[in-house]
Amino acid sequence: LSIPWARISVGWLAVVHYLACVVPQLGSVLYHLFMNHEGGPAVYHTLLTLDMCGVCMVNTLGALPIIYCTLACSPVPRSAALLAYTALSSYAIICAVTAHSNVRRLRSFAWQALFRFFFFYLRWVGLGTGHPSSLRSYLIMDGLALLGGVINVSRMPERWQPGRFDYWFNSHQIMHVLVVVSILYLHWGVVADLLWVTSYACPQD
């Protein structure tokens, strides 16, 4: 990931964004590498929890720069929104790590998605701020992530031809590819926003 650190004025947002992009990949690698460990269900559920925490991290940390830049000129609402989203994300993490099915895990992130889409709406109608190209990147990001989640839950295409996709092109692999591309769109959108907010001057009332 290329981040122009020296050109970004709000450094903590860049750090948060970097973690949002990297942590989910690490959690996923650990989960898939050791998921067949001889330790049995206890080890498996611990690894699954780490994987879910990684997903929660990209949903939580990934949205903070979006919220910040959307309300760049409204400090009080911005702080309130950041706190509210963090609290909502904490609840989502609890729901995700305690869910007993893929469908319930996917549902755990629904409120976070709705929260983000509210800020996308603010940008779309001109009530929010941000780089002009970022909204498109964010919409593609969430669209790809949702598509990946639906494909993973629905078990397509292996549900149509059991056994044929055991090693390649199964729903889980397709989901991971879509999620990686989704994170790339998040990265492109956030970097554009962070560079934009560095040079943007809020209008004087």
Residue 177 has pLDDT above 90, yes or no: yes
Total tally of structural domains belonging to the chain = 1
Q: Which tens digits make up the pLDDT trace of 68-119? A: 999 999 999 999 999 999 999 988 888 887 888 877 877 888 888 999 999 9
What tokens were used for 190?
A: 């956030």
Q: Please, which residues have CB within 8 angstroms of residue 69's CB and are 6 or more apart in sequence?
A: 129, 130, 131, 134, 193, 194, 196, 197
Q: Is residue 68 in a domain? A: yes
Residue 120 has pLDDT above 80, yes or no: yes
What tokens were used for 140?
A: 């593609």
**How much is the average pLDDT of 174-199?**
95
Q: Which tens digits make up the pLDDT trace of 13-35? A: 999 999 999 988 888 888 888 87
Domain with 81, as residue range(s), is 63-199
Q: Is residue 148 in a domain? A: yes
pTM of the model as a whole: 0.89
**Residue 167 burial (C-beta neighbours within 10 Å; 0-12, 13-18, 19+):** exposed
Which of 120, 135, 16 minimizes the C-alpha distance to 3?
A: 16
